[in-house]
Amino acid sequence: MNKLDSSLVTAALAERGFVLTDKATEADAVLINTCSVREHAEDRVLSHLGHLRHLKKTQPQLVVAVIGCMAQRMGETLLAHEAVDVVAGPGQLHEVPELIDKAMADHQKRMHVLDNIRQPAASEAIRDISERLDAFELAYDSDANHIKSQAFIRAMRGCNNFCSYCIVPYVRGPEVSRAPQAIVEQAKKLAGEGIRQITLLGQTINAYRYTAGDRTYTLADLLEQVSAIDAVRWVRFITSHPGQFDPSILQVMADLPKVCPYLHIPAQSGSDRILRAMNRGYTAEGYIELIEKARATVPELALAGDFIVGFPGETDEDYEATAALIRRVRYKNCFVFKYSPRPGTHAEKKLADDVPAEVKQERNAKLLEIISEIADQDNQTFLGRTLEVLVEGPSKKPHLNKAENEDNPQLVGRTKHDYIVVFNGPESLTGQFVKVRVTKTAALTLFAELVA
Ligand code: SAH
Ligand code: SF4
């Protein structure tokens, strides 16, 4: 979601004549798009601002903007920081170019964040903004000089779930779904410009609902409509919440070949006690039943998840239950996070952060080991298979398998199940579908060769 926001704001700035530079010393303005999900992410922003304050001593004209969730959460504090000129929340991103222009002209401090982000008036403002900012999604990656291999389209903003540990509902506001026509129009436009893969985004994308007249459109309807666009080859959606996951979504995944057989469906924990304290609204057994049903409906379904270790009160037994769930589900990959108390959330206010840092670290490392071991085993079944991949571009870690020469660099692509595949081929294949044969496998990567 943040990646999309950054690219939308960049595109909106480009329309005003700004160009990207990767050196702060060359910049007229520096924007920091922020995340508040864990304290560590916020700490990094604060240390970054420290550097920028220093830089401003030699570049007094530099304008610094802090945008996104942290701006929403701690606006005044950020505005008071010596380095900061502009503060804009996730609901004000469409105003950022104008705020930057003004700050460049008069060097006054400005803050635009929504008050009472969960009030109905804010929902209306957010709906309006969605349409103004979201339309900026571009097919062309001007930084890399080629058509992007995929485009993100926001299907909905915000979240109403209030998991007890999570800051998202407070900083991104209530769920607001975009009209299906707006999404489909955008997908058509992007497809017309060369995009072949669309990823629909939402914090809980399966909660997508849009009522027009007497009809309510769901995620299944949306997937069907986007799949109906000729030039679109693959459609995906992230992230799914395991509570209230409608079977119609699985059916559409099974019936429509363009809908990718991939679910990012975080369980967070395998312990019912912890799931209850997290306010997740399902049990471990309920989650596993859903996964079994999904696997039975959608052939070759790949699964990804998120887990939090060290939630308040998590015992060794709770941790073991999480490890057991992971062993049963056998994910393609997972993200594991150490619990981080977020100010204002239920867990931060009511539950002591009582799992010691070393225990969190140990559980984190052990879970990653289990996840990697499973993926390593399961990925071996791909050995020798020919797969279709969408080429994303040159690999950023070419040491994995050295490029033979400049015309044949190491490329990265993804299968429709979201497996990462690395192989050598001409850079001109970026954005195209190619066939590759798998020659070697690892836990996170398949290595392959191009098939003529
Ligand atoms: N909407 C998505 C997740 C958004 S946040 C969903 O519900 O699945 C991304 C991930 O960050 C979450 O899945 C969770 O695993 C993690 N996370 C959120 N709040 C956290 C916190 N306070 N401490 C540690 N991890 C957290
Ligand atoms: Fe946060 Fe839960 Fe909403 Fe995901 S579903 S964004 S974890 S509150």
Q: Does ligand 1 have an atom closer than 6 angstroms to the CB of 306?
A: yes
Domain ranges of the chain: 2-112, 120-381, 383-450
Q: Which atom of ligand 1 is nearest to the CA of 341?
A: 22
Digits of tens for pLDDT over the chain (452 positions)? 999 999 999 999 998 999 999 899 999 999 999 999 999 999 999 999 999 999 999 999 999 999 999 999 999 999 999 999 999 999 899 999 999 999 999 999 999 998 888 888 777 777 777 678 887 777 667 666 667 778 999 999 999 999 999 999 999 999 999 999 999 999 999 999 989 999 999 999 999 999 999 999 999 999 999 999 999 999 999 999 999 999 999 999 999 999 999 999 999 999 999 999 999 999 999 999 999 999 999 999 999 999 999 999 999 999 999 999 999 999 999 999 999 999 999 999 999 999 999 999 999 999 999 999 999 999 999 999 999 999 999 988 755 555 556 678 899 999 999 999 999 999 999 989 999 999 999 999 999 999 97
Q: Are 211 and 178 within 8 A, CB to CB?
A: no
Dump strand ranges (E) for 268-370.
Answer: 302-309, 333-338
Residue 196, CA distances (Å) to 138, 263, 394 in order: 13, 19, 18
Say if 2-112 and 120-381 have the same CATH topology.
no
Nearest CA to ligand 1 atom 2: 203
Give domain 120-381's CATH architecture: Alpha-Beta Horseshoe (3.80)
Q: Residue 211: its pLDDT value, please?
A: 96
User: 446 pairs with which residues across the strands?
Assistant: 421, 441
- Taking the whole predicted model, whether its pTM rises above 0.85 is answered as yes
Q: Are 253 and 297 within 8 A, CB to CB?
A: yes
Q: Which atom of ligand 1 is nearest to the CA of 266?
A: 8
Q: Which atom of ligand 1 is nearest to the CA of 342?
A: 22
User: For residue 200, is it left (φ>0), alpha (ψ between -120 and 50) or beta?
Assistant: beta
The helix (H) or strand (E) run that includes residue 415 is none
Query: What is the CB neighbour count within 10 angstroms for residue 31?
Result: 21
CA of 203 to the centre of ligand 2 (A): 7
Q: Residue 398: its pLDDT value, please?
A: 57
Q: Residue 90: its pLDDT value, please?
A: 92
Q: Does ligand 1 have an atom closer than 6 angstroms to the CB of 35?
A: no
- The CATH code for residues 2-112 is 3.40.50.12160
Q: Say how far apart CA 335 and CA 263 lie, in whole Å.
A: 14
Q: Which of 37, 38, 203 to mutate to test the pocket of ligand 2 (most atoms within 8 A of CB)?
A: 203
Fold designation for 383-450 = OB fold (Dihydrolipoamide Acetyltransferase, E2P) (2.40.50)
User: 367 pairs with which residues across the strands?
Assistant: none
Q: Say how far apart CA 49 and CA 121 lie, in whole Å.
A: 32
Q: Which atom of ligand 2 is nearest to the CA of 204?
A: 5
Q: Residue 184: its pLDDT value, please?
A: 96
